[in-house]
Structure 1
């Protein structure tokens, strides 16, 4: 009888691999991480794992930090498709005509692409004194008036202040606020109703992530799904295929010294290879991640504390310890 029950148990275990699959939250690093808030994974457009930690829930509005930039990147692609913006190589002087009077004529030739690649050469905020930048009466005007720090297009320097200009450009190009444009063309069609987006003092919605877009983690997964579904949400095309291609396979990238090992940056997204598998991801301060892995048609969204004292270590803990567990889980799922 015992032998029969043992054989039956083995048959059930091997015939139902999903039930035999070890859940990621059994990982030592996840169970003992006091700073992580949420991990949501989809595969083949279905949520296969969703867990909240440290008092958070599916109702928590998460502070997405610089994931804001990556969402804005998708909106820029939609605006180009709608002919509101001519191209990535359009000079920003079209939207800031005051640059024609600037003593540094190089500013007139800065392009949208260069801003999205963090290579505009414009002034960047002091990360050790963000209150100074955030306290300005008009952040976008202030950035444009400062001296250039490098030749446009030549040097990668992560620049929140310049990134905010993308929101200003989107608003001027579309005649709609960034938030309204996002609601009409992205959030509403995806059924994303709970969103909080804060304006800078200049009256434009934050494009830097310093004030941050706030959403539910499970809704951020939907946005990541656009990258593995060629711009479709269900049977609705929201993002042009040409823009998805540009994001997945950018013409030019810059090496970064943070995030996953050997990451490269382009158009407000990062790229890396893990165990021979290519992935694209968005990264925010403190360990906010949105990762799309086209090979497995999988998306991972992660939120964590943004406390400065734990931010760098939390991001490293995720890339080095937690992500390998999640990747292995995704890889084994059918």
Structure 2
């Protein structure tokens, strides 16, 4: 692993950042799991680094960041009138629930799915092969008994999250992937995406099979949200929906992530060093982190290895993220918009020098 970073070090001097750059840390340089890391600030790429033989434009397995992509797509569908609102009952799009004997299922809303509070049956995380082997995974989850009262408690549920893709397809009359290409990926200039289907024929909405995108393109989705749903001056998703995602009115304590994190509408939410964080997190240390107060987005992809996945996430959030945050914060206090544009110029060159 070899990274040429001298151009970035020049920029840190010009912008007033510390000359001790965060990627000199052993937590990155000696990290065999990290593949790609991109930081954007004020619409410019402030840092792009790739590691362990990977490139920033490679397609990576994003795991549960798939849910964050789905969250944006649901908002676009609401904006365009395909779905009424977060309060829409999922039974409106899943007619098999009409004959359900447990009438509580008829009260489950789209918001409950996005809050991981539907109460529906969930897969066994230690035997995902059983769930992934089902011929009709979406139908299976609907037929099982409720595990809790809908809307009352969080239980992380990939099986229920997949229903977001099913509902999106039924509401729009398009596959999730086709809808995403037309209304999200192509407007953002995202050309290379792979997305797997579950055995029920619907594109995976949970992240277990994952949408595969580059780290740079995932960063664009975060940037879209920080820009109020606009890209290059064109609206892609409404400001109203962006505000709903970044400031959800209903959240639940998250069972993992940074301490004192809340979960709502497919994202995690926390205050960190007096700054608001909204972030997505995927198995193995895939992250999409939005810092609105600093106008910054961090995206990272790492190896998918079940044996080290939890450690990889903890290393990034406990060791690497604080260094990046402090570096961004220092630059935000001392830099002008012009300086960041200069940073983009240098860092894009640096990206091409990563070997």
**TM-score where L is the length of structure 2:** 0.89
Q: Corresponding residue for 1:141? A: 139
- Alignment length (residue pairs): 323
Relative distance call for 1:32 and 1:239 in structure 2 (3 A) is: same
For structure 1, the 5+ residue unaligned runs are 1-11
Which structure is richer in relative contact order (CA contacts within 8 A, separation 6 or more)? 2
Instruction: Work out whether residues 21 and 329 of structure 1, in 8 Å CA contact, stay in contact via their aligned partners in 2.
Output: no
* Root-mean-square deviation over aligned CA pairs: 1.4
Whole-Å Cα distance in 2 between the matches of residues 191 and 131 of structure 1?
Answer: 35
Bigger-Rg structure (1/2): 1
Would the aligned equivalents of 1:13 and 1:20 in 2 still touch at CA under 8 Å?
Answer: no
The 8 Å contact of residues 17 and 330 in structure 2, kept in 1 or not, is answered as: no
Q: How does 1:98-113 map to 2 (within 5 A)?
A: 98-113=96-111
Structure 1 consecutive aligned stretches of length 4 or more whose deviation exceeds 4 Å = 12-15
Unaligned runs of 5+ in 2: 1-9, 336-355
State the secondary structure of the residue aligned to 1:308: coil
**Residues 177, 205 of structure 1: 8 Å contact kept:** yes
Report matched runs for 1:298-313 at 5 Å: 298-313=296-311
Query: Do the aligned partners of 2:37 and 2:56 also contact (CA within 8 Å) in 1?
Result: no
Tell whether the 8 Å contact from 1:143 to 1:162 is kept in structure 2 after alignment. Answer: yes
Please say if 1:204 is aligned against 2:198.
no
Alignment of 1:1-334 (within 5 A): 16-17=14-15, 21-333=19-331, 334=335
CA contact (8 A) 1:139 1:161 kept: yes
Q: CA deviation at 1:84?
A: 0.3
Aligned-partner SS, 2:122: coil
2: CA distance between counterparts of 1:19 and 1:212? 36
Structure-2 change in CA distance of 1:180 and 1:18 (3 Å): farther
- Structure 2 contact 13–19 (Cα < 8 Å) conserved: no
Q: Using a 3 Å threshold, how does the CA distance of structure 1 residues 264 and 15 change in structure 2: closer, same or farther?
A: closer
Q: How far, CA to CA, are the matches of 1:291 and 1:132 in structure 2?
A: 32
Residue in structure 2 matched with residue 8 of structure 1 by the alignment: none
Change (3 A) 1:43 1:13: closer
